[in-house]
Each structure stands twice: as structure tokens, then as C-alpha cells.
Chains A and B, each alone.
Chain A
Amino acid sequence: MKLNLFEDKNTINEHVDVYYSNMRPQIKQIIDIVNSERLSLSGRPADDDLDEGEEILIDPKEVYYLDYVDRKLFIYTGSGVYRIMKTLAECEELLWNYGFVRVSKSNLINIYKIKQLKPDLNMKVYAYFDNGERICVNRSYKKGFDEYLQRMRKMA
């Protein structure tokens, strides 16, 4: 994508014009940034107490996957594990634009962080990430996963 920047010290109304051929996720993300609605998730390190730990802003692009365990939602990034105070369904809705798709009852994965997708000998399909972890793609979410990939492919 070509980027033109114009500096004009006399400009009173700063503005951004976006020319696009189709409304794909990257364009939506640019719009979010301009509207100051860039999505960031706030979470606390998983091993801290909820009241004590410092809240950290997490860029969705850094997230490998989300895991819902014991009614708690954890975010797995390259730098650590964080707990966030949202539901998996809320995150699914917020993050679909950033490459996140539901692959089981308790997992949302970032397709841009997948290193490899392959089936085991027992025919369970796993998504392998850069950090060496893997998440199972459940059969009952297969259709949704397929549809998501096709939709992202059309939009990209």
C-alpha cells in the first residue's frame, strides 16, 4: 500500500483520506486508528492478583491465542500470559478483524501467528504457533473456521 505524507505547518484541520478498492481488515484497522479506536486489550499478568497487578495494554497483533479456563480468560502472547476481564464471545466479536477465529469452545486463535496447521495421526487437527504451543481445531468449529478463512481471503 502506498503511503503519502504531507507536512503543512499552516493546516488547521488535519485529516486523512483513504482510497481503497475493498473494505478489508487492514483498511478497517487504519480507520480504527484514525478514529482513535485502535483496539488494545488490557490485561494483568496471569500470576498476579486481580487487585494488585499492573494493567497492561496488549496489541492484538502480539497475541497467539485466547484460552478460557475455569471461567477466566487468558491471553497468550510472546511476552507472557495475561488475564483479561472479558468474555470469549466479546473478544471474538472485537477481534475478528485482526485474524482471530474460534476453533473450540474455549479457544480463539490468531491465524497470523500460526506457524503450521496439521493433523495428528489420530486425525485431530492442530494449529502450531511460533512459541511451540499448539491448539486443537475442534470438528464442530470446522465449518466456521473454513468460512472465516474464505471470508478473510476474499477481503484481503
Chain B
Amino acid sequence: MVGRPQKIRKIAGAPSIEGFDPKGHRGRQCRGRRNCRRQEETILLLFEEYESIRLLDYKGLNQTESAQEMQVSRPTLTRIYQRARQKVAKAFIEGCPISFEGGKVNYKTEWYQCTDCQSIFNISDKHQKMIKEVTCPLCSGNKIIVYHEADSLMEEEEL
């Protein structure tokens, strides 16, 4: 029996940095030397795991709210978060570098349709917070409706 496919996790955006390197004697030594055991032990923190830490610990949301943000169930969010903490703990204790990458994610973006020129467009979560009113990027009209079939536009894709 094949397991059910993973739900796509929505994240607000990719982290602004690629990862972390350990500091200090052991860390430096590791980066310099070839075939170093530690180098191979770079911990891959998935984007969804990064996002769970951002929502829960940085923004201080509770797990139910965070799960809604990422559009997964609450238990799934808990598992993602648990993995995230395990990985971060391992990196801290064993002095491994962390690299942010991968995961089954889509960026959070809202789709709209202009009723004047019929064009459909998206506005990312980041921009949404900066603008007061949604206007059409084509005709600058302000008769905008939320486009609901956006999920059919956004086909499932693994990053």
C-alpha cells in the first residue's frame, strides 16, 4: 500500500539566508578540511520546518493558528515542528552546519481578478502587507474580486 501524498505547505517566503555555520575552533576546522565528517553532516532544515519555527517561536502563534497559516492539519504542524526542533538541537549540540532547503512548499500568494479587464493576477503575502488597496496591475482599476479557482492555476509541484 502506498501512503497518501503529502499536502503542500504554504509558507510566507524563503528564509533570507541560506543557513548557518558553526563558530569556533571545531567549526572552523571542519570547514577547512576536506572529507571532514562534520561537513557531510550538514543538517537540511526544510523550508516548512523553518516556517514552523518562524510562526510558533518567532511570531508566537499557537499551533492551531500556525497550522491554519500553513494550511496543514494541527497534528501535521506538530510533527513538522518536532522535526524542526530535533534538527536544530542536533546542530547545536554536535556543531553541525544548517542549510535551509527543500520541502513540499508553495509560497503564499493571493489571486485576484479585475472585473474591468478580466485579467487575473497574484499578490504575494509580503506585498499584501505593504499596500492599502488592491488595484489591477494592468488597467489600474479597483473593481477587484478574489479569484477562487487559483488552486487549479497552482498545480502541485515539488520543489
Chains A and B form a bound pair:
no
Q: What residues of chain A have their CB less than 8 Å away from a CB belonging to chain B?
A: none
